[in-house]
Structure 1
Amino acid sequence: MNASAYFETEHAQRYLGTLCKHFGHKVTVVHEPGFGRIELPFGRCALHADAAGLRLTATADDRPMLDKTIQVMSSHLERFAFRENPDLTWTGAEGGEA
């Protein structure tokens, strides 16, 4: 299962780096310019930064693990981007909100 959200911001590259660096102390992380992947014990999140914003795509084996991945990624981005007050809307593979 997967779900995606897009956060419009001029600071996408910075938030991508901050998230990868933060989680890199605890779990496996891939970080390249414009791309990151965070491997949590219960799911994964791919991050893609462009000039307009940051796309997050969460993937997990079932709905409870997907929900936990979404919650962890959302809460961390909200903490790191508190000045911009991100309001993420996650859209699931079924086309509804996750």
Structure 2
Amino acid sequence: MLTSEAHITTDRPGRYLTQLCKHFANKGRHLSRRPRTHTLPDLRPDQIQVEWTDTDGTLRLPWGQCTLQAVPGTLRVRVEADDRENLERLRELVSTHIGRFSRRDPLRVEWQQSGAPGDAPGDATVPPR
């Protein structure tokens, strides 16, 4: 299993954890009443499983899993996947959504590889938008 982690500095880690989890939990709902603003390629709403509390969250997708933890001053994010392509897909998904949700006060997502050296792609930095 390949993993990558980001520790995102923010005054509101719980708010972003909840916002991310609620967003993915609601994917696919009400599609007949309003258009989707963006899509997740090759993914049906029934393939998304989300669980969260005020301090911990888990997002399971067919490509892998994202674990979130809100601690004072930091949102910790860990993504896990079976291969590099899916790991990068999860990293991009989380980085893009954090960027959208933090437009007023942009957050910086800096991924660090975990596990065995050479298993994951190099560190990828997504600058604030």
On whether the aligned pair clears a TM of 0.5, the verdict is: yes
Matched, 1:71 2:92: yes
Where does structure 1 lack aligned partners over 5 or more consecutive residues?
none
Q: How does 1:1-98 map to 2 (within 5 A)?
A: 1-26=2-27, 27-93=48-114, 94=117, 96-98=122-124
Equivalent AA in structure 1 for residue 72 of structure 2: A
Matches of 1:41 and 1:86, distance apart in 2? 27
User: In terms of Rg, which structure is larger?
Assistant: 2
Matches of 1:92 and 1:63, distance apart in 2? 11
Superposed CA deviations along residues 25-66 of structure 1, whole A, max 9, x for unmatched, are 231101012000111221211000011110100000000000
% same residue: 36
Contact 2:9 2:108 in 1 (8 A): no
Contact 2:64 2:86 in 1 (8 A): yes
Q: How much does 1:86 deviate?
A: 1.6
Matches of 1:82 and 1:69, distance apart in 2? 20
Matches of 2:3 and 2:55, distance apart in 1? 20
TM-score calculated relative to the size of structure 2: 0.71
Matches of 1:10 and 1:80, distance apart in 2? 14
User: Deviating runs (4+, > 2 A) in structure 1?
Assistant: none
TM-score calculated relative to the size of structure 1: 0.92
Q: If each structure's helix is expressed as a fraction of its own residues, which one has the higher value?
A: 1
RMSD of the alignment, in Å? 1.4
Aligned length: 98
Matches of 1:28 and 1:70, distance apart in 2? 17
Residue 75 of structure 1 aligns to a residue in which SS?
A: helix
Equivalent AA in structure 2 for residue 7 of structure 1: I
Q: How much does 1:87 deviate?
A: 1.8
Matches of 2:109 and 2:7, distance apart in 1? 7
Q: How much does 1:84 deviate?
A: 2.2
